[in-house]
Chains A and B, each alone.
Chain A
């Protein structure tokens, strides 16, 4: 597998730090395959990540890589993109990183529709800190900080970013590798804020506590729960309860932030020259 995409990895950094059966390696390979398909110049590609197990991914990749502070990857990425618009930027972030501590940056990046491609590694838990519940932990599931099962309602992240202004919103799972790659490619082609949420597995901090005996069982669960969006449209809400709706969920058209900025500077220049 790696042979096809190894030119994009820092091979001397492997094997990676993730636990046996962790979904991060699988999802990361999908992202790398997407970048390969997109034929982006490695020198002109930046991978920005936050803090968490998933965010460790950036160090393994042979691009300009930036491992930031918890929740802030999108704000760093915004600075890079605005400063140097010709760079292609991918943002890797966990569910806690993107939706809890980084939730404000997520909605504002979406509102600006800035041309960033975000891949959210959603393992439904705070993996790195040992299994505390996140804003995406499904109700009643257990976490170290929810020993009796969480009583909080999770976000629907796709709906959240769509409402906030993202122009490409998709969802896949670690099981559906080819779909994941395809969705990330389509997201990158969208000139605007693109979010692909990938349901992944954390067998160590989430699976064990929630009756998943093996990592494979978690992947099987992803396969069983996934409902392609086309099919989901003809299903009743009760039938969709607990399901993972996959595919391209939303595509919108809106002005992209950096392009708008460029237009503004162009206009000012013309005015100054008296055109």
Chain B
């Protein structure tokens, strides 16, 4: 195959499944949950045809565990869920962060805590994506706002997980997941696929948790001659449990540090009319679509308004926000929750400008009109 594929009408969840396959994912384990289920259904059909593996596990805890197991065995692996399942996966997401096992967790957000509203979009898992599992730990979270980007960011998520040996969360929402758009997928040759670094030493010299300069240790897959120990306990460079203070602090610092150190490579964001913006709307996921409409309309009215769309919610593009904050009269954070990313925007803008908020938690979408009203209030 070469050249871009024919444009296809495709759902966000479908684009996610296609993106996973394009990135080399050949293992899926999951448990059905609205509004993510199509990802499982599509991969159940496609993976066996590609020599890949699909398994429906008994719950989300098991799904997360199976994904980590498959990745340790050398197969790129992904799971998909929504809020309740995301909560269940947390302990094992922490395991993946601790043992540095590449994997991708798709969370198609619904509205509300607990069972919430399964069929309504929400963005209430922003902070859970960062701090859902206990202890200081590294994580990357990406947030698409259209179908094509869902494809691309799924590829990116897999690539980043392989490159940095971290769990990567693809934070979707119900709107993006179920929306259909015409997309032209890149041909396989155009897609950059990253694989985990392999050991460059023979097995007897292999130090499994000795990082390279980028903070990331090469990874040996089970069954390839490198016999080593993997544990969720704090471990030394050989992978064995340790209680020594400096080793404990050293590991946690390296794990979180490898993301900070490589932030420039990881962080992604998009801007619209930012150069002269007096008010900057900060929005992501499905809300960014309404925000874009709002900003365009305001520009047509001659108002200097821009859009900042963080694509990586974690690590957060704080330096970029700081830049806008020092120039703008105000920032308006628009999101489908009670102000979760707003906290981070406030932190990043360091009091240099006012941070305003417009949100909804009733399962309905934020409209351009609501965003416009808030922006005009600031102007």
Contacts and interface: CB of A to CB of B under 8 A. Distances in A.
**Do A and B have CB atoms closer than 8 angstroms in the complex?**
yes
A144 interface: no
A67 B229 contact: yes
Interface residues of A, number: 38
A86 B74 CA distance: 13
A46 B223 contact: yes
A222 to B, nearest CB: 30
Contacts of A77: 69
Nearest to A272: B49
Nearest to A104: B58
A64 B225 CA distance: 9
A148 B292 CA distance: 67
Contacts of B233: 67
B322 interface: no
B66 A79 contact: yes
Contacts of B247: none
B240 A62 contact: no
A196 B229 CA distance: 24
B77 interface: yes
A65 B62 contact: no
A66 B51 CA distance: 25
Contacts of A83: 27, 53, 69-71, 73-75, 77
A10 B227 CA distance: 11
Given A78-B55, A272-B49, A69 B95 contact: yes
Range class of the B interface residue count = 35 or more
A43 B231 CA distance: 18
B73 A43 contact: no
Contact of B230 (A62, A67, A79, A108): A67
A239 B91 CA distance: 45
A66 B325 CA distance: 47
B331 interface: no
Contact of A13 (B66, B75, B92, B240): B240
A49 to B, nearest CB: 9
B229 A82 contact: no
Given A78-B62, A82-B27, A108-B58, A69 B92 contact: yes
A216 interface: no
A87 B222 contact: yes
A272 B27 CA distance: 21
B223 A75 contact: no
Interface string A78-110: 111111101100000000000000001100100
Given A79-B67, A79-B70, A43 B224 contact: yes
9 contacts: A42-B227, A43-B227, A64-B223, A64-B227, A78-B65, A80-B222, A83-B73, A83-B77, A84-B73
Interface of B: 27, 29, 48-49, 51, 53, 55, 57-59, 61-63, 65-75, 77, 91-92, 95, 222-225, 227-233, 240-241
